[in-house]
Amino acid sequence: MRDQAISPLFWLIAIALTLGGCASDPPPDPTVGHLVCPGEGYGPVRLGMSREEVVAVLGQPKLKISPTAYQYAEGFAVVFDRRFRVASVMCGGFCEGDKPLVERFGGRTASGIGMGSSTDMVRQCYGDPERTRTIADDPKLLILEYPKLGAAFTFRNDRLVHIAISKAPAPR
């Protein structure tokens, strides 16, 4: 008898949860999941980690581009130096054909900067860049470089499509 009383309550809760999931998604919480940490790394990957440490925390890459570049299915690549230590992390992609990488990459900075953010949003968070570059062959690209922060942000049509994380120079 008790099983019959619980069953309708179970279904009522299940339906409420399902319908609640149909509402518009809240904005992503930058404290959940993998954080982009300029000058430090992405998620569990830290600049300076060995290749073996990276594979231990992330598993095997989707594609080994070379012995010094591993592409992961989540839309980012880990680049190693000649000692096979993490030199940089490349998130998303700036080529037209990299759209799937941009769409798959879900990481954000602690300030909420992620794929699709505008140049104004990045400037509001990090100030004016130390350098700004454009690519002659691709005038829709704009790169805001923050070497002291350890990051460069690439935009296509004013939308963030690529984040490069590298070591920031030591303070003097």
Q: Is residue 160 part of a domain?
A: yes
Q: What is the pLDDT of residue 20?
A: 35
Q: Is residue 19 part of a domain?
A: no
Phi then psi for residue 87, to 5 deg, are: -100, -35
Q: Is residue 78 part of a domain?
A: yes
Q: Is residue 144 part of a domain?
A: yes
Residue pair 97/19 in contact by the 8 Å Cβ criterion = no
Partnered with residue 86 across adjacent β-strands are 80
Structural domain boundaries, residue 59: 28-166
**Against a cut of 0.85, is the pTM above it?**
no
Q: Is residue 21 part of a domain?
A: no
- As a whole number, mean pLDDT of residues 6-29 equals 36
A 10 A CB-CB count for 144 gives 20
Residue pair 36/91 in contact by the 8 Å Cβ criterion = yes
CA dihedral (125, 150, 108, 132) positive or negative: positive
Q: Is residue 72 part of a domain?
A: yes
Count of structural domains, the chain:
1
Lowest-pLDDT choice from 14-18, 35-39, 110-114, 117-121:
14-18
